[in-house]
């Protein structure tokens, strides 16, 4: 239902990054730029399966990169980290020319500017190589090199390009700051002044840079125009360097405006077991529901736990001030999945699905036990994502280990463990790691084998659909109280249904599905759920609706009159603008995708109102 991002937590390792990525890193072994380009034309409304932003695509194409390289970089890095995308593009572009040619072009142009930019260019080239020059030797370079940058920090406030701006921001006007920054990027001061005059003082740095670049390109295309000898070819030689600094500036400004707030500072409990889990002792507690939350139907809402500051307060306020229940699915299975749940279900007499699922990696994937090295302390997988590690990555890891008969050196161990944790790689042979297969992810998330297989569904779509789903065992534990309440069957309104995690949970609990209205935008997900419905010989009625915005009050009233109302309204709106690793559009509940939470509220209020009139 909600999108995933990296949970980045294991039993023996401390992770500082956040839970799922709303804009997840899409690094698959297969796929093409054409697939990625087509995704830019889709809409994200009404579903958790939203594609990358066409604005982001145009943003980098406008910087002078080819469409194919931009598509490849976004596909491999996801649109959640613009800095990593840019570094990947720099790497691709460098590979198209010989390394000596690149250095000659950059450094000769820097010399024309009295050497002022020489150190910056060297720094940029160093960052393109992942910034590990102080940690590796020439002999190690093969396995540390990458076709994309995986190690650029999200917090750009520490970068050199932002420090100068921070130091001067207190004494200069915003106009002067822009002039200084663009001049520092290499644009002539007079041209910058003209750009500010033409575009207006309120224009963003991006608009000003585009204006300047367009002017330079126009001059370059005019055969009658000859640049003064003292001026460098700024656009052709420095476009990528400037675009990087421009993006860093924009990220810095967002941080200064408070758009990237810290995650919830006090609300998340440790351990994250909510109102109790079957495998951990829990202290007695008492929950009192607000009166507005008690009236039918039951409701159940889910989203990522590590949302921006204040988001869960807002969600709780709109959902009748019900206290959230934060649970990490590592207490139910072998993979972590930190989620928040708000519901008005009873919390006494819950029971888990049987048999209990395996709770360690070796129990869940016993064939890995033979090859698991003693220096890999993982017993749990991190949050299962919509993406997997690439074949190139697993080959680099193999090469990094094959030269050592015994334990590898500490720096090699650290490299391997970091990548294994990041991409949930498991050991399948001597010095050999591999990403999880779709059927293994299905098992870890509690879905039946081959739930997402067949019917024309690609391997890429399987990972994407699974990464955006419920963890069935966790949700089933919460929904188990409904079995005694609805012995004859239940009527469900399932919003943002995904691949039917709620329906699978209810079915596995032995609760008949009398009537289900499933609302899901992605056709792939609707096909998966429809196939499961048929394969499990459900006797009830399944109605598919494509978009939550199609579910008007009139339509709801028709459905309630025909079927007698709903017993449960369940769903998890898209987390794209909430997830921690989305540093581009982490706009909270005001974001384009995550604002669909308010559709959940609208529909739930309408159902409660219509059913209340009929009581």
Confidence (pLDDT) at 192: 83
- For 317, counting Cβ atoms within 10 Å of its Cβ (0-12 exposed, 13-18 middle, 19+ buried), the class is exposed
Least confident of 226-235, 304-313, 513-522, 573-582: 226-235
Neighbouring-strand partners of residue 339: 304, 327
Specify the residue for token string 């260019």.
121
* pLDDT of 235: 39
pLDDT at 336 over 50: yes
Greatest extent of the chain over all pairs of C-alpha atoms, in Å: 85
Lowest-confidence pick of 61-70, 167-176, 205-214, 476-485: 167-176
Q: Per residue in 491-506, pLDDT tens?
A: 999 999 999 999 999 9
Average pLDDT, the chain: 75
Report the C-alpha gap between 387 and 378 in whole angstroms.
20
Distance between CA atoms of residues 394 and 256, nearest Å? 39
Asked whether the predicted pLDDT for residue 10 surpasses 50, the reply is no
In the CATH hierarchy, which top-level class contains the domain 291-356+446-613? alpha beta
- d(CA 490, CA 161) in angstroms, rounded, equals 58
Whether the Cβ atoms of residue 376 and residue 420 lie closer than 8 Å to each other: yes
Q: Looking at residue 54, what is its pLDDT?
A: 60
Is the CA virtual torsion 436, 441, 444, 450 positive or negative?
Answer: negative
Q: Which residues are catalytic?
A: 575
What is the rounded radius of gyration, in angstroms, for the C-alpha atoms of the chain?
26
pLDDT band at 55 (very low <50, low <70, confident <90, very high): low
pLDDT score, position 521: 93
Average pLDDT over residues 185-190: 78
More confident residue, 551 or 143: 551
Tell me the C-alpha distance between 150 and 80, whole Å: 12
DSSP conformation letters of 21-83: -SS-----SS--HHHHHHHTTS--TTSS-----HHHHHHHHTTT--HHHHHHHHHHH-TT-HH
pLDDT-derived band of residue 391, with 50, 70 and 90 as boundaries? very high
Helix-, strand-, coil-residue percentages of the chain, each rounded to 5: 45, 10, 45
Residue 70 has pLDDT above 60, yes or no: yes
Provide the residue ranges of all domains of the chain, joining segments of one domain with +: 291-356+446-613, 361-444
pLDDT of the residue at 227: 47
Predicted confidence (pLDDT) at residue 35 exceeds the cutoff of 70: no
Average pLDDT, stretch 239-263? 53
Question: Would the pLDDT of 382 be above 90?
Answer: yes
| Burial class (CB within 10 angstroms; exposed 0-12, middle 13-18, buried 19+) of 106 | buried
pLDDT at 135 over 70: no
Q: Residue 456 and residue 454: Cα distance in Å, rounded?
A: 5
> Which among 94, 145, 148, 95 has a CA at the least distance from the CA of 121?
94
Which helix or strand (DSSP H or E) is residue 340 part of? strand 338-343
Query: Looking at 234-248, 467-481, 518-532, which range is the least confident one?
Result: 234-248
Cβ neighbours of residue 613 under 8 Å, at least 6 residues apart? none
Instruction: Determine the average pLDDT of the residues in 421-450.
Output: 96
Q: What is the mean pLDDT of the segment spanning 69-95?
A: 72
Q: In this model, does residue 115 exceed pLDDT 50?
A: no
Summarised one tens digit per residue, pLDDT across range 285-295 is 778 899 999 98
Give the H or E element holding residue 542. strand 541-545
């Amino acid at each position: 239902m909600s999108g995933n991002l990296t949970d980045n937590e294991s039993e023996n390792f401390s992770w500082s990054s956040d839970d799922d990525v709303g804009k997840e890193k899409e690094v698959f072994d297969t796929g093409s730029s054409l697939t990625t380009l087509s995704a830019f034309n889709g809409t994200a409304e009404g579903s958790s399966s939203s594609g990358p932003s066409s604005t982001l695509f145009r943003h980098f194409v406008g910087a002078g990169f080819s469409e194919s390289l931009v598509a490849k970089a976004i596909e491999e890095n996801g649109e959640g980290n613009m800095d990593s995308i840019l570094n990947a593009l720099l790497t691709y572009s460098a590979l198209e020319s010989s390394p000596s040619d690149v250095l000659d072009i950059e450094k000769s142009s820097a010399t024309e500017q009295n050497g002022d930019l020489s150190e910056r260019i060297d720094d940029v080239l160093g960052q393109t190589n992942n910034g590990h020059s102080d940690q590796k030797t020439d002999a190690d370079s093969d396995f540390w090199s990458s076709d994309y940058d995986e190690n650029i920090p999200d917090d750009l406030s520490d970068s050199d390009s932002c420090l100068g701006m921070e130091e001067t921001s207190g004494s200069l006007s915003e106009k002067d700051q822009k002039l200084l920054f663009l001049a520092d990027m290499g644009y002539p001061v007079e041209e910058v002044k003209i750009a500010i005059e033409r575009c207006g003082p309120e224009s963003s740095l991006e608009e000003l840079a585009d204006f300047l670049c367009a002017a330079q390109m126009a001059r370059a295309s005019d055969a009658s125009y000859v640049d003064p000898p003292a001026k460098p070819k700024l656009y052709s030689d420095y476009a990528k360097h400037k675009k990087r600094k421009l993006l860093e500036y924009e990220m810095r400004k967002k941080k200064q405006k408070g758009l990237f707030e810290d995650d919830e500072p006090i609300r998340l409990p440790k351990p994250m077991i909510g109102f109790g889990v079957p495998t951990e002792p829990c202290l007695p507690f008492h929950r009192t529901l607000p009166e507005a939350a008690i009236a039918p139907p039951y409701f159940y809402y889910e989203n990522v736990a590590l949302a921006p500051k204040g988001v869960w307060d807002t969600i709780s306020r709109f959902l009748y001030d019900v206290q959230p229940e934060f649970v990490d699915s590592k207490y139910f299975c072998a993979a972590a999945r930190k989620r928040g749940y708000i519901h008005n279900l009873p919390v006494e007499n819950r029971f888990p699905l049987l048999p209990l699922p395996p709770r360690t990696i070796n129990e869940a994937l016993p064939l890995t036990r033979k090859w698991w090295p003693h220096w890999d302390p993982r017993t749990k997988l991190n949050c299962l994502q919509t993406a997997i590690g690439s074949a190139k990555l697993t080959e680099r890891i193999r090469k990094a280990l094959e030269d050592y008969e015994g334990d590898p050196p500490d720096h090699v161990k650290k490299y391997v463990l970091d990548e294994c944790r990041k991409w949930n790689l498991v050991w399948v042979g001597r010095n050999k790691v591999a990403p999880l297969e779709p059927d293994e992810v299905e098992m870890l998330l509690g879905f039946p084998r081959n739930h997402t297989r067949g019917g024309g569904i690609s391997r890429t779509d399987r990972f994407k659909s699974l990464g955006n789903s419920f963890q069935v065992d966790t949700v089933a534990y919460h929904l188990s109280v409904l079995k005694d309440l609805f012995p004859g069957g239940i009527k469900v309104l399932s919003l943002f249904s995904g691949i039917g995690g709620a329906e699978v949970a209810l079915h596995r609990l032995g609760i008949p599905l009398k009537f289900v209205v499933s609302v899901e935008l992605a056709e792939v997900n609707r096909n998966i759920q429809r196939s499961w419905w048929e394969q499990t010989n459900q006797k009830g009625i399944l109605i598919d609706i494509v978009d939550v915005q199609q579910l008007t009050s009139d339509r709801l009233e028709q459905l309630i009159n025909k079927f007698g109302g709903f017993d449960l309204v369940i769903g998890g709106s898209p987390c794209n603008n909430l997830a921690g690793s989305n540093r581009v559009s982490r706009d909270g509940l005001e974001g384009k995708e995550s604002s669909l939470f308010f559709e959940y509220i609208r529909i739930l209020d309408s159902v409660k109102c219509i059913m209340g009139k009929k009581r």
